[in-house]
Amino acid sequence: MNWDVLEGKWEQLKGKFRSKWAKLTDDDWGQVAGKKDQLVGKIQERYGYKKDQAEKEADEFIKGL
């Protein structure tokens, strides 16, 4: 799955993302709305990851969907 497809299926997949990154709040998820840059930024903010690490985790997660 790629990020374009993910944006279209965001409502169906949001639960899987919530279980992976439980530290993100409902407000965070509303802002992310399937956008990679928003997700990466929120992962950095909540987990203290560097951008490269957050991007890698997000990319690997969607590849497994």
pLDDT tens digits for range 8-62: 888 888 889 999 999 999 999 989 988 999 999 999 999 999 999 999 999 999 8
Count the alpha carbons within 13 Å of 25 in the hemisphere toward its beta carbon: 4
Best CATH choice for the domain 3-63 from the list 3.40.50.620, 3.30.465.10, 1.10.1470.10, 3.30.70.330: 1.10.1470.10
User: What predicted TM-score, i.e. pTM, was given to this entire model?
Assistant: 0.86
Angle formed at CA 62 by CA 52 and CA 32, multiple of 5 degrees? 75
**Domain spans, the chain:** 3-63
Q: CA–CA separation, 53 vs 40, rounded Å?
A: 9
